[in-house]
Amino acid sequence: MATPKDYAFMRRALELAQLAAERGEVPVGAVLVREGQVIGEGSNRPIGNCDPSAHAEIVALRRAADAEQNYRLPNTTLYVTIEPCTMCFGALMHARVGRLVFGANEPRAGVVESQLKLSEAGFFNHKISVESGVMAEEAGRLVREFFHDRR
């Protein structure tokens, strides 16, 4: 069940997504939190960074890992505006993120609920708890408007 803190951190992720849109990137924002403190955040940057892996989730994980000086990020929650793709979900698993909170589903590439349901797969040696749909309308609207304006 989503908490008031979940909504506060998701609002920050939405702010980051808006910044990505202003740079011409797909509007996705991510915030990584441990014990109520932001330890990493990011927004989509693959175009600007010329880096296909620079999704918001990866940027947030990289910043947190650098700040923590550890590639493992246990006891953390990642807030992201859109359901993660395969690459991002894999990175969350490798980092040992404990909880994922996301906004809107991504029907084509989302792998947590929409497609592969990787969060339910039994072959991983780590389990991430998932809370979906937090501020889904706001997150989905950002993406819809972004692509509508580009057409």
Tell whether residue 148 is among the known ligand binding residues: no
Tell whether residue 50 is among the known ligand binding residues: no
Print burial letters for 39-65: b (CB count within 10 Å at least 16), e (below 16): bbbbbbbbeeeeeeebbbbbbbbbbbb
Nearest to 80 by CA among 148, 116, 128: 128
Give the active site residue among 25, 41, 57, 113: 57
Helix (H, G, I), strand (E, B) or coil at 127: coil
The answer to whether 65 and 42 have CB atoms below 8 angstroms apart is: no
Active site residue 57: yes
Tell whether residue 55 is among the known ligand binding residues: yes
Binding residues: 55, 85, 88
* Binding residue positions for Zn(2+): 55, 85, 88
Active-site residues, by number, are: 57
